[in-house]
Structure 1
């Protein structure tokens, strides 16, 4: 079951070097031993540079 808890994504991406692309974010989430569903959701965001954690959250949750 995929999580919709923003806190889980914050934990998964702790220490991510911004700006970061999708692949780097996936690597960081795996290194942080994030839940498989969280990693999967991050791996499906658009492949672009993310400047801040808020940018990633918008991509994951689809909010502007």
Structure 2
């Protein structure tokens, strides 16, 4: 499966408040109807707190 673009990830996370846990990222994206590729990427992130959208995108591009 192709990695989603940072834009797709941020669309799925629109309106979320940072800092945020990985679990909350996944729940928010599920609630916003994110695609399978975005969900798979978010579920694969390290289990830690994320401080900003850039922080999420950086980690997602490394996975």
- Please, what TM-score do these two structures have when normalized by structure 1? 0.88
C-alpha contact 1:21 1:48 (8 A) present in aligned 2: yes
Q: Which runs of 5+ in 1 are unaligned?
A: none
Residue 16 of structure 1 is matched in structure 2 by 16
Deviation per CA, 1:4-58: give whole Å up to 9, x if none.
Answer: 3111001011111211010000011111100012111101101000010000001
CA RMSD, Structure 1 to Structure 2 (Å): 1.0
C-alpha contact 1:18 1:50 (8 A) present in aligned 2: yes
Q: Which runs of 5+ in 2 are unaligned?
A: none
- Please, what TM-score do these two structures have when normalized by structure 2? 0.89
Residue 2 of structure 1 is matched in structure 2 by 2
